[in-house]
Amino acid sequence: MNYQPVAAAVVALCGVIGLVVQARRTRHVMDDVKRDLEVWALLPEQSEQRAPLQASVEEAVARYIADRRDKSRDLAGAAVAVFLAASGAFLWWLPASNGGYWWWCAAVAAPFSLFGVVGFFESIVLARRDSKGRRIRVITDAPPSNGSPS
């Protein structure tokens, strides 16, 4: 079997995954703190904006420390997801290399691959988690949308 198209597809997939991960990256709070501190240093000593800017920087640093303490990754879930994705890749490889009745493996390969990829990105995200590693989502009550007063 000619593996060159498969290798090209793997490289293309890795490139797309890299672009998605890079696009999801947000600016780091410490970049904002550094910028604010540079502005604070340039302000004159008698400026009225020094105190509010300093308070804003201190609040941002306190939030950053609290977030780092409260958020974690589910590494066990990520490991299981990598195993599922690798198993899915193997189950896709079997019919691609052997053909014939091996294409029945695709019925198992599709959910393995799907759960592996989705599970990896769900587990590797830095988020608040309970003791079992499940993400804690904050649900806010939305006001009624039917236009009637509450």
pLDDT tens across the length of the chain (150 residues): 677 877 888 888 888 888 877 777 666 777 888 888 888 888 888 888 888 888 888 888 888 777 777 777 888 888 999 999 999 999 988 888 888 888 888 899 999 999 999 999 888 887 877 777 777 777 776 666 665 555
Position of tokens 């393995």? 112
Q: What is the pTM of this model?
A: 0.53
CA 76 to chain centre: 16
Q: Are 65 and 30 in contact (CB under 8 A)?
A: no
> SS3 for 67?
helix
Position of tokens 């995200």? 125
What are the start-end ranges of the H helices in the chain?
A: 4-24, 29-42, 50-70, 75-98, 106-124
